[in-house]
Chain A
């Protein structure tokens, strides 16, 4: 009668119900709950339902999504940071990711006037100013031009900005998550400029977005001719609306504010425009009341993504893998060192996977944890010889009020129980 022979038990309706409840409740469980004991009815010697019943067929999930058990791997925001959600930021869940490519749906967002919903049929790019012939491009035009594929990080200038005065937010998603790293497909900006023909006195470009903030930045011509892209794809597919659909500018190694989304206009001029995003914002106030402007490059930086406050050590003593990311706007990551004792002693981490120019690199340190308190730090070096400084070294030069460009070394305190917290140490 029953096929429950050979010691195998059918998963009961109770088991199914349990699964459903777990799925429904998963989002309220603390992260890592899936690593718990689980449901014995699904475990050996029992056969879970997924081993005997048919699942969804093809194209039921026409655009696939992550497993429902990963429902906590999402962008998050910090409501008290900004006055409105339309001019605000959400953070990439770095503690849940590995490798170097950020999934499109998890790439941090920073808007100044909300997400512009652009109809690609109506999208136009105007290129004018100090050019021989002002041009207008459609999206089809842009896609007909020679294209290139590059992996670059985009890091908000304000990434880690809340940490200038001390440890504030408990998790690398919040302290370091204003960054993503994807493969862009686009046309070198140089090609568009050559198509229009530059006047001899051309020196600066104004890059303008088509959103309700009409975001603008002044871009030096030399950078535009070097490696900037007019990009329409990220990780193979078209840009996501929140990342500038259908077209954004990619400015490799430079602060992400300059990576204007929903690109609509490029004007060529002979001097910078000194617009709001390069005067009131994205200028770095020093202790003496003076301010740096045009601080374009994002310096070498790193963070340990696991263990970290949102990714505690749950397994107790023994062998474990420390994982992290490093990047530099000045070139390739050359080396990452890791300390377990708050910078007293360092060991060189293992870089794994592609190490690309102005891209995230992944590093690992495998070690045996003896269960004692640790003070984890990582220190990136890039190919120019730049060594990621401590926060105190940065503060000595800049004071506490420069908001942007905080690339200081991060410390995580691992407690004997495996919990991890954001601390500053002396």
Chain B
């Protein structure tokens, strides 16, 4: 009795597993395809309605993550301030830290050294031939600055800054970009959400399906599509910046 019951349970679990896999696949095929023009056929495939609506299978795999475990890794910050750590700092505090920990690559004023990223300047350059995309000229949200520094900077010593250092460096960068004009302004988890960057409104969601509708052509040209011989207007060889074979990395 107990043995056969065990077998039954095993079979039921196996069936549940199969059903789960089925739901995964059917769901994938019947779900709308975001961002893509579907061929219609794929969307029209109707998964068995009850299966799609059925409560998801639970495998009981993985364990509950404890709040203190999540806290150690949960470092992300959003534009609305969600995720901001407790802390405070001013541009004046930030200048010394920036010079010590950041300026070797990014320059003392965010102007950068060598090919490292420029962090300040470039105002009004976005529509020019050579746009300079910096925090001040391009970035839409100040939260991105503090989030990114927190997760990835200094390059090679990530997640080494204290929360106060984070706020101070961010304040200094906002000061360099004329977002904060007072060196003594206290940037903190409370004041942070009041900060706005000037380029926020100039971003818009992918509109290719409308603005590039012309690329969905029914019948592309096949013969006599242009007149005359092709005229060469650009040559990679003339620029000559391609790595040569036999140079660069090699295998043993």
Chain A contacts to B: CB under 8 angstroms: 27-31, 71-72, 74-80, 82-84, 86-87, 90, 112-113, 126-128, 133-138, 141, 144-146, 148, 166-171, 174, 188, 190-192, 194-195, 197, 206, 208, 212-214, 216, 220, 222-223, 225-227, 253-254, 264-265, 267, 269, 271, 273-276, 279-280, 283, 285, 287-297, 299, 309-310, 329-331, 337, 341-347, 375, 379, 381, 383-389, 393, 397, 400-401, 411, 413, 421-426
B39 proximity list for chain A (CB < 8 A): 331, 383-384
* A401 near B59: Cβ-Cβ < 8 Å: no
A270 smallest CB distance to B (angstroms) = 10
Bound CA–CA A331/B64 (angstroms): 37
Asked whether A28 and B216 contact (CB < 8 A) given A191-B20, A194-B56, the answer is no
Which of A30, A170, A291, A346 is in CB contact (< 8 Å) with B237? A170
Asked whether A389 and B140 contact (CB < 8 A) given A225-B31, A346-B221, the answer is no
Asked whether A225 and B36 contact (CB < 8 A) given A145-B61, A294-B205, A397-B212, the answer is no
Bound CA–CA A252/B243 (angstroms): 31
* A290 near B202: Cβ-Cβ < 8 Å: yes
Q: C-beta contact mask, B65-108 vs A, less than 8 Å → 1, else 0?
A: 10001100111111110100000000000000000000001000
Which of A214, A293, A296 is in CB contact (< 8 Å) with B151? A214
CB-CB nearest 9 A-B residue pairs: A342-B230, A289-B127, A194-B56, A289-B126, A424-B234, A214-B151, A384-B37, A422-B236, A83-B115
**B6 contacts chain A at the CB level, 8 A cutoff:** no
Report the tally of A-B residue pairs with Cβ distances under 8 A.
320
* B218 near A385: Cβ-Cβ < 8 Å: yes
* B216 near A166: Cβ-Cβ < 8 Å: no
**B144 contacts chain A at the CB level, 8 A cutoff:** yes
Bound CA–CA A309/B242 (angstroms): 11
B35 proximity list for chain A (CB < 8 A): 223, 254, 296-297
Asked whether A29 and B246 contact (CB < 8 A) given A167-B234, A194-B57, the answer is yes
Which of B75, B151, B249 is in CB contact (< 8 Å) with A75? B249
A191 proximity list for chain B (CB < 8 A): 20, 24, 59
**B165 contacts chain A at the CB level, 8 A cutoff:** no
* B231 near A297: Cβ-Cβ < 8 Å: no
Bound CA–CA A424/B65 (angstroms): 55
Which of B73, B215, B217 is in CB contact (< 8 Å) with A126? B73
In the complex, besides A128-B70, A279-B203, A401-B131, 11 extra interface pairs with C-beta distance below 8 angstroms are A27-B246, A83-B116, A168-B239, A188-B25, A226-B34, A275-B148, A329-B36, A343-B225, A343-B226, A346-B225, A386-B37
Asked whether A344 and B224 contact (CB < 8 A) given A72-B245, A167-B239, A297-B36, the answer is yes
Q: Could you name 10 residue pairs across A and B whose Cβ atoms are closer than 8 Å?
A: A27-B250, A76-B249, A83-B116, A167-B239, A226-B33, A274-B141, A291-B202, A296-B35, A346-B222, A413-B232
B215 proximity list for chain A (CB < 8 A): 299, 386-389, 393
* B243 near A195: Cβ-Cβ < 8 Å: no
* A385 near B217: Cβ-Cβ < 8 Å: yes
Chain B contacts to A: CB under 8 angstroms: 17, 20-21, 24-25, 27-28, 31-39, 42, 56-59, 61-65, 69-70, 73-80, 82, 105, 114-117, 126-127, 129, 131, 133, 135, 138-141, 143-144, 147-148, 151-152, 155-156, 158-159, 202-208, 211-212, 214-218, 220-227, 230-237, 239, 241-243, 245-246, 248-251
A66 smallest CB distance to B (angstroms) = 9
Bound CA–CA A77/B214 (angstroms): 35
A213 smallest CB distance to B (angstroms) = 5
Asked whether A283 and B226 contact (CB < 8 A) given A222-B31, A426-B231, the answer is no
* B141 near A144: Cβ-Cβ < 8 Å: no
B32 proximity list for chain A (CB < 8 A): 222, 226
* A128 near B243: Cβ-Cβ < 8 Å: no
* A76 near B243: Cβ-Cβ < 8 Å: yes
Bound CA–CA A367/B11 (angstroms): 59
* B58 near A195: Cβ-Cβ < 8 Å: yes
* B230 near A145: Cβ-Cβ < 8 Å: no
Asked whether A337 and B222 contact (CB < 8 A) given A28-B246, A83-B116, the answer is yes
| B42 closest partner in A (C-beta) | A331
* B245 near A384: Cβ-Cβ < 8 Å: no
Which of A90, A166, A171, A276 is in CB contact (< 8 Å) with B234? A166
* A273 near B236: Cβ-Cβ < 8 Å: no
* B251 near A71: Cβ-Cβ < 8 Å: yes
* A379 near B220: Cβ-Cβ < 8 Å: yes
| A284 closest partner in B (C-beta) | B206
A29 proximity list for chain B (CB < 8 A): 246
A253 proximity list for chain B (CB < 8 A): 36
* B28 near A134: Cβ-Cβ < 8 Å: no
A212 proximity list for chain B (CB < 8 A): 152, 156, 158
* A292 near B249: Cβ-Cβ < 8 Å: no
A288 proximity list for chain B (CB < 8 A): 127
* A294 near B73: Cβ-Cβ < 8 Å: no
Which of B62, B126, B139 is in CB contact (< 8 Å) with A137? B62
| B113 closest partner in A (C-beta) | A83
B204 proximity list for chain A (CB < 8 A): 290-293
B115 proximity list for chain A (CB < 8 A): 82-83
A181 smallest CB distance to B (angstroms) = 18
Bound CA–CA A188/B31 (angstroms): 13
* B131 near A292: Cβ-Cβ < 8 Å: no
B29 smallest CB distance to A (angstroms) = 9
B231 proximity list for chain A (CB < 8 A): 425-426
A275 proximity list for chain B (CB < 8 A): 76, 144, 147-148
* B203 near A291: Cβ-Cβ < 8 Å: yes
B241 smallest CB distance to A (angstroms) = 6
* B62 near A331: Cβ-Cβ < 8 Å: no
Asked whether A285 and B126 contact (CB < 8 A) given A136-B62, A274-B143, A385-B217, the answer is yes
Which of A214, A295, A386 is in CB contact (< 8 Å) with B75? A214
Which of A71, A223, A337, A426 is in CB contact (< 8 Å) with B230? A426
